[in-house]
Amino acid sequence: MSAKTILYVEDNEANRMIVRDLLKRTKYALIEAHDGEAGVAMALEKKPDLILMDIQLPKISGMEAMRRIRADASMAATPIIAITSFALSGDDQKAKEAGATAYLAKPYSPFDLLKLVRQYAPDS
């Protein structure tokens, strides 16, 4: 069985590095996009097993990117974990309405992220 692929859409290089370091000790293959438009294009082209989506992104927001990904029938069931540092009341509901499967607020524990990743894209 080949490694499951995770797409991480995040404009902050430091945040991408944290996730890269976290996942390099696992069986997951990580692909990255640095803005919303690139994230949508990569999701539709590569069909990852799981998407980690930052909400605050250049070009188009993570919310809009999730809506565009969900509009493609082949991506309707792909789990998307929305990640944001602007955890305001109701944001989790807005993220779910845009297509998020789960929601994680920054700062988060890398272990919490890995737990969610394993929950939505089991590596066994």
Instruction: Check whether 62 has a pLDDT greater than 90.
Output: yes
Whether the CB-CB separation of 96 and 90 falls below 8 Å is answered with no
What is the helix (H) or strand (E) element at residue 33, kind and residue range?
Answer: strand 29-33
Q: How far apart are the first and last CA of the chain?
A: 9
Q: Where are the domains of the chain?
A: 5-120
Q: What is the biggest distance separating any 2 CA atoms in the chain, rounded to whole angstroms?
A: 41
pTM: 0.93
Tokens for 20? 């890269």
Domain 5-120 has CATH 3.40.50.2300: yes
Instruction: Check whether 60 has a pLDDT greater than 70.
Output: yes
pLDDT band at 1 (very low <50, low <70, confident <90, very high): low
The answer for residues whose C-beta is within 8 angstroms of residue 28's C-beta and 6 or more apart is: 3, 4, 5, 6, 117, 121, 123
- Region 97-105 average pLDDT: 92
